[in-house]
Amino acid sequence: MRVVRLGKEPSEIGADVRAAISAWGAGDGVLGGIALFGVRPPGGPRELDAVLVLPHGIVVVVGADLPAAALRLEAPVRTPWTVDGWPLLRSHGAINPAVEALESASALARGLQSRGAEPLPVSAIVAVGPYVERITQPTSDLHRGVRVVHPSTTTMLAAVRELTTYQRACGVEPARRLLEAVDARAGGRSVSELTTEGFPDAVAPDMASANTMLIPKIAQEPAPGKPRGHLARLSASPTRNRWLAVGAAAAVVLVAVVLLVFAGGGSAQNSLVQQLDGVHVPTNR
């Protein structure tokens, strides 16, 4: 993942978030994507520690600084948080940082939709510090697309992988529009930089060199010499042709038999007449 710092993170734990993500290294060998730090998307309610734009999703990261290190943190969305059994008191903001993270994610999603950007799902991560040993979240909150973690290389990686599960990877050009929509200073990324981070190029090499000239449509005309009408129907029925040939042959044989019969009868009659006239001619038998 490529790290782009556009401003200072608003929370102290934001520096730990940046260090954890930077440890993944550039490229898509671990996760890929572009991490923008210190941004405030247009229309957003507050400045964000980070916005992670990945090929399969967008993650908003909101930092939450606790008064001190804690052993146990109960972090629901609908009710106030408790730290080591004591309610988390906040002088400003919502009842807990998870609500702020969801509000920021919703505002970013609306802003991207109004600009016609790629409809990637927008999720949220709340990074708490300076240190929490164990964090408990209700299962229903996990399904809503929010994670509360103490930022480290492994915890951030696991949370981002769980949240970015869009089935189709965002291409290079849609990724450019997404980055510009999040912050205009993040635009202008090169094709090679984005493809290195896992955003596929929409124009494949073989398609780029293909000839796209339209081929004229050829009318479906019958081939020359092809029989038409009743001839075509006759030629299309080989069984019928065989029976016609047999019938013609039988007719020829019948005519020949009739001719032979008449010819034989005439010869016998002539022999009989010659004998009555006293001319002794051998009869034809």
Q: pTM of the prediction?
A: 0.70
Number of structural domains found in the chain: 2
The answer to which of 40-49, 60-69, 235-244 has the lowest mean pLDDT is: 235-244
Same structural domain for residues 144 and 93? yes
Closest residue by Cα to residue 48 from 79, 1, 9: 9
Same structural domain for residues 104 and 244? no
Mean predicted confidence (pLDDT) in 258-280: 49
Q: Is residue 208 part of a domain?
A: no
pLDDT > 90: what percent of the chain? Answer: 58
pLDDT in tens, 15-30: 999 999 999 999 999 9
Decide the pairing of beta strands 122-129 and 146-149: parallel
> Which of 201, 217, 243 is at the close of a domain?
201
User: Cis ω on the peptide bond leading into residue 130 (within 30° of 0)?
Assistant: yes
Same structural domain for residues 156 and 74? yes
Mean pLDDT, all residues of the chain: 81
The answer to which of 110-119, 220-229, 268-277 has the lowest mean pLDDT is: 268-277
Hey, how many other C-beta atoms are within 10 angstroms of the C-beta on 138? 14
Q: Is residue 190 part of a domain?
A: yes
* Residue type, position 267, single letter: S
Return d(Cα 17, Cα 153) in angstroms, integer. Answer: 8
> Which of 163, 186, 201 is at the close of a domain?
201
Same structural domain for residues 161 and 55? yes
Same structural domain for residues 19 and 124? yes
Same structural domain for residues 133 and 268? no
pLDDT of residue 95: 75
pLDDT of residue 261: 55
pLDDT of residue 238: 56
**Residue 128: pLDDT over 90:** yes
Q: Is residue 225 part of a domain?
A: no
Same structural domain for residues 177 and 69? yes
pLDDT of residue 268: 43
pLDDT of residue 90: 75
3-state secondary structure the chain: CEEEECCCCCCCCHHHHHHHHHCCCCCCCCCCCEEEEEECCCCCCCCEEEEEEECCEEEEEEEEECCCCEEEEECCCCCCCEECCEECCCCCCCCCHHHHHHHHHHHHHHHHHHCCCCCCCEEEEEEEECCEEEEECCHHHHHCCEEEECCCHHHHHHHHHHHCCCCCCCCHHHHHHHHHHHCHHHCCCCHHHHHHCCCCCCCCHHHHCCCCCCCCCCCCCCCCCCCCHHHHHHHCCHHHHHHHHHHHHHHHHHHHHHHHHHHHHHHHHHHHHHHHCCCCCCCCC
Mean predicted confidence (pLDDT) in 85-107: 86
Q: Is residue 237 part of a domain?
A: yes
Same structural domain for residues 108 and 238? no
- The parent domain of residue 191 ranges over 2-201
pLDDT of residue 223: 53
Please, which residues have CB within 8 angstroms of residue 136's CB and are 6 or more apart in sequence?
72, 73, 74, 75
Closest residue by Cα to residue 200 from 28, 51, 58, 60: 28
Same structural domain for residues 148 and 260? no
Hey, how many other C-beta atoms are within 10 angstroms of the C-beta on 13? 23
Q: Is residue 194 part of a domain?
A: yes
pLDDT > 70: what percent of the chain? Answer: 69
Same structural domain for residues 242 and 191? no
